[in-house]
Amino acid sequence: MRLIILAPALLVAGSLNAQDTAPVETKPESFEGVPADAGQPFGGMAISPTRVVVEGSRGGQVMIYNSSTETVSYRIEAVDLSIDENGQHTPAEGDVPAWSALPHIRYAPRQVTLAPGQRQAIKIIARPAQGTPAGELRSHMRFSSIPLVAPVDDTPAPEDENGNRTVEVSVGMDFRVTIPVLLRIGDTTGGAAIEKVILNADATNRTAQVTIARTGTRSDYGTIRLLAADGSVVGLLRGVSVPPPLARRNFPVQITGKMQPVKAVYVEELPGLRDGDVIAERAID
């Protein structure tokens, strides 16, 4: 059984020269607690942060935690995922896309084994190729647990009254978390607008489709809030972003309670789920 999680998800650095310095590998260390905003799908694997932004040639890192009660091995790989206006991700096909960060990024280690209560830093370095235009490039880093299959007892099971023996099957599961890695080169500017808000008329499924249009050369990252007339929040969606080359993206937001939303606000989301500046807002007709 395979469970795949794309978190709100870096193959071959082909343009790097052999003499480029690789990231320094660190050793596992113990931890007392997993960050509150870490991605924690299943199986005791947690990832923090769930979105990495690398500025120019500066490095970055992702921390992987084993909060389970067993020793687990993890494989780290890089992928390019295309995204459409409705947020559907699919593997990029054909040549390396122009928006890919893979040719400019290296990372290490690519596989780690962690005992219960251990964490490991995955180091990322960027070496943008000379002449790369300013802007934001994007790829994804995928963390997969390597399935552990419990040993099967080789002792034959006793026969039943009909002369049959039971068959023992052991199944291993692997868990995946995929996070975006953004590489920003040169001078980039943020900016977004709430293009439209469409309310769902179905009383049994009260939702609003909020369309965010990117106006800057890089993506913003924030929270959509739907506000009622008294200022109370009747809808909330975190992890909202419109990465290049997308110009706009549609986000379904669940409406809670009985009050009708009259305003949509897009607010910058800072580490620790803190609010930053208001990026955009729009009255709902």
Per-residue pLDDT tens listing for the chain (285 residues): 444 445 543 322 233 333 345 676 778 999 888 887 787 756 688 999 999 999 988 889 999 999 888 899 999 999 999 999 999 999 998 899 999 999 999 999 999 999 999 999 999 999 988 889 999 999 999 999 886 655 555 555 566 666 565 555 445 566 788 999 999 999 999 999 999 999 987 878 899 999 999 999 999 999 999 999 999 999 999 999 999 999 999 999 999 988 999 999 999 999 888 999 999 999 998
As a whole number of angstroms, the distance between CA 163 and CA 101 comes to 61
Determine contact, residues 244/219, Cβ cutoff 8 Å.
Answer: yes
Domain 192-283 in the same topology as domain 2-149+173-185: yes
Tokens of 182: 């953004």
As a whole number of angstroms, the distance between CA 36 and CA 65 comes to 12
Q: pTM for the whole thing?
A: 0.80
2.60.40.10, 3.20.190.10, 3.40.1190.20, 2.40.160.50: CATH of 2-149+173-185: 2.60.40.10
pLDDT at 171: 52
Longest dimension (CA), the chain: 78
Side-chain half-sphere CA neighbours of 257 within 13 A: 11
pLDDT at 263: 98
* 237-282 confidence digits (pLDDT tens): 999 999 999 999 999 999 998 899 999 999 999 988 899 999 999 9
Strand intervals (E) in the chain = 2-6, 29-30, 45-48, 52-55, 60-66, 72-79, 81-83, 89-91, 105-108, 111-114, 118-126, 135-145, 174-185, 192-199, 207-214, 222-227, 233-240, 248-254, 263-270, 274-283
- The structural domains of the chain, with segments of one domain joined by +, span 2-149+173-185, 192-283
Local structure of residue 116 (DSSP, 8 states) = T
**CATH class of segment(s) 192-283:** mainly beta
